[in-house]
Structure 1
Amino acid sequence: MSLTQLRVFVLFSAGYFVSYVFRGVNLGFAPAITHELGLSAADLGVLTSLYFLGFAGAQIPAGVLLDHYGARRVTAVTMLFAALGIWVFGAAHGVGVMMLGRLLIGVGVSVCLGAAFKALAQHFEPARLPLMNGLVMAVGGFGGVMVGTPLTWILTFANWRAVCIGLGILTVLVSVAQWTLLPDAQQPRHQASIGTQFKGTLHILRSAAFWKIGSFSIVTQGVFYAMQSLWVGAWLRDVQGFAPREAASLVSVLGFAMMAGCVGFGAAARGLERRGVSLYAFCGIGMALFVITQLLIMFGAPLPAGLLWAGYGVFGGTGILSYAIMARHFPASMTGRVNTTLTLTIFVLIFGFQIGVGAVLSHWPANGGHYPAAAHLCAWGILVALQVVSGIWYVMPGRTRNQPVPAPVPQEN
């Protein structure tokens, strides 16, 4: 790996790490925020999910901007909105202003993952992308670790508002480092106009191959992140009876396991392809194992909790291989838009799933902030059913996933 490639990997990974911390920080803040503002499960679900709404809503313009202006410029500028958002969130004393803060955070970090994948595609050969994408996801996954035990420990001597100030400062530092230290990748000499590039995004959304390849991963990733960033903690406390510190430890185990899974599956994918196992099939197997792991957790399989939640983390990130599959089916000039369009669909589902779980839980009476096991099982059972349906679509025979998608032909005025 050259020095330039190393800088690209480290600084874009740092951006995604910050994005991941913001994604799950309400997992640690939830008890304090709920107590301070008197929120129900539905209220907490809506508040937390606004990050995903902002993130999803910015994906299409983000993809166009990435392909037009380059990853360095776009991600360094937009991260400043995330810093502003966390400061607004931390200073708020009402739910409305906190919602605005979460929305700004989501918009601000909306390009972090797409920018990283685009930059990697520009600086690394295609055969290395599953591993490099997995490494970026692993660094991001460490953000999932940080919102477990480390955040719980920090909150023993600092309140959640002080943590928000620190997160804003960290975000600004990463933004400045990206602007000053990252190289500018060579852009096409004759770029299409912004309007034409928006039409390219519609071309992606109309592509049967996009929906075929993304079907299973969109739903499994939606479930994984919706649960990991908010409802896993409630499940561990309400259903499995863990104390807050034990629950936080298992959240960190999940985060470490996801890091290992992203790297391990990314490395294994390249070796298995040489042995005739396609990336599409390997990705599908990993996602199927993720669904099985969820069923084992739901039905209380007689296995150590640490092992089950480690399995949840290891297999939960396998859907990320879909980004590498997409890169092989769409032209390089559309990489930014393909990545952000896939992320858009995933985050729309995360937004819906977080609200949906909260709404389902709120149909049962809470006892001291806890909901009965039946409520959690009902909510998660619906999520598993949706994953099974999408998995059936993923494995059904179809020619579109094996055919490269041509770039749209610009129309002359």
Structure 2
Amino acid sequence: MSNQTVSKQSLLRLFLPFGLGYFVSYLFRTVNAVIAPDLVADLGINAADLGLLTSAYFFTFAAFQLPLGVLLDRFGPRRVESGLLLIAATGALIFSQAETLSGVILGRALIGLGVSACLMAAFKAFASWLPSERLPLANGIQMMSGGLGALTATTPVQAALQITDWRGVFICLAAISLLVAIVVFFVVPNQPQDKKPENFTEQLQGLQRVLTNRHFWQIAPWAFTAQAAYLSVQGLWTGPWLRDVAGLGRDETAQILWWIAIAMIAGYLTLGRLAEQLAKKGIRPVVIASLGMSLFIVVQLLLVLLPQYNRVLWLGFGFLGTSCILPYAVLSQFFPPQLTGRCNTSLNLLVFVGAFSAQWLIGGIIGLWPTNASGGYSLAGYQAAFLFLIACQVVAAIWYWLAGKWISAKDQSM
């Protein structure tokens, strides 16, 4: 079946299982923002330890991206994602039973490895089945399921903590991961094959083709620094900020995180739809991506300068941060379908190395300032950490514009 004639049944078999997978992935990614006080109290850890623990997810996630791209292009998204989700279930079970920092880090690392395909497998499947002009909206719909996961990691998790503890929550997550692995394996259609599979040497040559493409390196630095800021902050540090800077209690913090997740869902749907509609008028998705990521820098700067307005600004953070996903669809248009897995995972490698580094580094920077009388972290520490992330994004944005002029000049001279 070509990507031009996909039935509604096939679309459901693509969107629903992959949506469930990314729902679970994002739930794992952001749940520590709510259970952070329990982890600190039960394990006796500091800000840097909390950042390291939570970022272990990003480390293994990132480390597996290049092998993942080869596996997706070779074996297809159905088999790869369902197998990896079994590892996520194992990691969640280990996390729930661990009594030491090293134990929960191991569990968290296995979770990151296990969900490392949940987004890239979907992007690979969409690129194989759908026409390229539909990819921004399709990817946006997939990201909405992640927003629902982030939504579930807020007030619903806080409500669950009234019934059980964080260990019980992770036992439930282990069971859900196992169920989703089964659904993906038995429901997702096999990847359409237009020609015989590449051998290992050809796969490495394809990866080299991605990593030496000038369009990739034009947008990749900005995409990964923006996403690193978005993922590292939203996945952990938003909750402590609302507690320490805004002075909110746990229930109020969970409610604000809920609304941030709502803003994120709205952002993925709105920007994906906008990119698709404007593309019909000749406006490329990269224009929407660059504008959105520029506004994302602005809202982060306002959070630093005007913390008293943080409730409204956090909603802007949740909405505008979704523009960071558009570069995946942009880059997919520069490569043939058989290379989209390696293209997306190459960018994802950079994204999650950045997210791992940023989440851990934020904790380290915050820890340079003394805690207050109630044990909360200093506003100055948060501001310093956020300013560092903003500076990285500004430098990457400048590189994007300069590299674009260089590429245009080179293309004109050829």
Cα–Cα, structure 1 residues 201 and 156, in superposed 2: closer, same or farther, change >3 Å?
same
| Shift of residue 274, structure 1, vs aligned partner | 2.8
Distance in structure 2 (CA, Å) of the matches to 1:24 and 1:100: 17
C-alpha contact (below 8 Å) 2:133/2:279 kept by paired residues: no
Which one of 60, 68, 77 corresponds to residue 62 of structure 1? 68
Secondary structure, counterpart of 2:163 in structure 1: coil
Secondary structure, counterpart of 1:47 in structure 2: helix
Map of 1:309-320 to 2, 5 A cutoff? 309-320=314-325
Which one of 216, 222, 236 corresponds to residue 230 of structure 1? 236
Question: Aligned pair 1:136/2:148, yes or no?
Answer: no
Which one of 158, 161, 172 corresponds to residue 166 of structure 1? 172
Deviations 1:237-292 (A, max 9, x none): 11122222211111111111111101100101122223332211111001111111
What residue in structure 1 maps to residue 3 of structure 2?
none
Distance in structure 1 (CA, Å) of the matches to 2:400 and 2:150: 28
| Shift of residue 301, structure 1, vs aligned partner | 6.6
| Shift of residue 306, structure 1, vs aligned partner | 3.9
| Shift of residue 401, structure 1, vs aligned partner | 7.9
Question: Aligned pair 1:298/2:323, yes or no?
Answer: no
Distance in structure 2 (CA, Å) of the matches to 1:23 and 1:369: 25
Secondary structure, counterpart of 2:333 in structure 1: helix
Distance in structure 2 (CA, Å) of the matches to 1:236 and 1:80: 34
What residue in structure 2 maps to residue 86 of structure 1?
92
What residue in structure 1 maps to residue 287 of structure 2?
281
Distance in structure 1 (CA, Å) of the matches to 2:333 and 2:409: 10
User: Which amino acid counterpart does residue 190 of structure 1 have in structure 2?
Assistant: K
Distance in structure 2 (CA, Å) of the matches to 1:381 and 1:327: 31
Secondary structure, counterpart of 1:127 in structure 2: helix
Cα–Cα, structure 1 residues 90 and 296, in superposed 2: closer, same or farther, change >3 Å?
same
Question: Aligned pair 1:112/2:112, yes or no?
Answer: no
Deviations 1:156-185 (A, max 9, x none): 111111111100110111110111111102
| Shift of residue 194, structure 1, vs aligned partner | 2.5
C-alpha contact (below 8 Å) 1:253/1:306 kept by paired residues: no
What residue in structure 2 maps to residue 410 of structure 1?
none
Distance in structure 1 (CA, Å) of the matches to 2:202 and 2:407: 24
What residue in structure 2 maps to residue 40 of structure 1?
46
Which one of 345, 351, 355 corresponds to residue 350 of structure 1? 355
Distance in structure 1 (CA, Å) of the matches to 2:56 and 2:166: 18
Secondary structure, counterpart of 2:119 in structure 1: helix
Map of 1:160-199 to 2, 5 A cutoff? 160-199=166-205
Runs of 4+ in 1 over 6 A off after TM superposition: 401-404
Which one of 290, 313, 331 corresponds to residue 336 of structure 2? 331
| Shift of residue 188, structure 1, vs aligned partner | 4.1
Distance in structure 2 (CA, Å) of the matches to 1:297 and 1:127: 35
Distance in structure 2 (CA, Å) of the matches to 1:362 and 1:14: 36
Cα–Cα, structure 1 residues 288 and 23, in superposed 2: closer, same or farther, change >3 Å?
same
Deviations 1:6-38 (A, max 9, x none): 110111111111111111121122111100111
Distance in structure 2 (CA, Å) of the matches to 1:358 and 1:6: 41
Secondary structure, counterpart of 1:112 in structure 2: coil
C-alpha contact (below 8 Å) 2:245/2:307 kept by paired residues: no
Question: Aligned pair 1:255/2:261, yes or no?
Answer: yes
C-alpha contact (below 8 Å) 2:52/2:359 kept by paired residues: yes
What residue in structure 2 maps to residue 398 of structure 1?
405
User: Which amino acid counterpart does residue 148 of structure 2 have in structure 1?
Assistant: F
User: Which amino acid counterpart does residue 357 of structure 1 have in structure 2?
Assistant: I
| Shift of residue 94, structure 1, vs aligned partner | 0.9
Secondary structure, counterpart of 1:369 in structure 2: coil
User: Which amino acid counterpart does residue 350 of structure 1 have in structure 2?
Assistant: A
Question: Aligned pair 1:19/2:25, yes or no?
Answer: yes
C-alpha contact (below 8 Å) 1:212/1:401 kept by paired residues: no
C-alpha contact (below 8 Å) 1:213/1:401 kept by paired residues: no
Select between 287-296 and 366-375 the one with higher mean Cα deviation.
366-375
What residue in structure 1 maps to residue 152 of structure 2?
146
User: Which amino acid counterpart does residue 84 of structure 2 have in structure 1?
Assistant: T
Secondary structure, counterpart of 2:278 in structure 1: helix
Query: How many residue pairs align between the two structures?
Result: 403
Deviations 1:40-71 (A, max 9, x none): 00001011100000100011111100000001
User: Which amino acid counterpart does residue 326 of structure 1 have in structure 2?
Assistant: L
What residue in structure 2 maps to residue 407 of structure 1?
none
Normalization by structure 2: what TM-score?
Answer: 0.94
Normalization by structure 1: what TM-score?
Answer: 0.94
Deviations 1:280-319 (A, max 9, x none): 111100111111111222222775x443222111100101
RMSD (Å) for aligned C-alpha atoms: 1.7
Distance in structure 1 (CA, Å) of the matches to 2:58 and 2:276: 31
User: Which amino acid counterpart does residue 405 of structure 2 have in structure 1?
Assistant: G
| Shift of residue 206, structure 1, vs aligned partner | 2.5
Unaligned runs of 5+ in 2: 1-6
| Shift of residue 392, structure 1, vs aligned partner | 1.2
C-alpha contact (below 8 Å) 1:258/1:314 kept by paired residues: yes
Distance in structure 1 (CA, Å) of the matches to 2:104 and 2:346: 27
Distance in structure 2 (CA, Å) of the matches to 1:76 and 1:99: 23
Cα–Cα, structure 1 residues 401 and 108, in superposed 2: closer, same or farther, change >3 Å?
farther
| Shift of residue 203, structure 1, vs aligned partner | 2.8
Select between 267-276 and 139-148 the one with higher mean Cα deviation.
267-276
What residue in structure 1 maps to residue 387 of structure 2?
381
Q: What is the percent sequence identity of the aligned residues?
A: 39
C-alpha contact (below 8 Å) 2:129/2:192 kept by paired residues: no
Distance in structure 2 (CA, Å) of the matches to 1:16 and 1:115: 10
Unaligned runs of 5+ in 1: 405-413
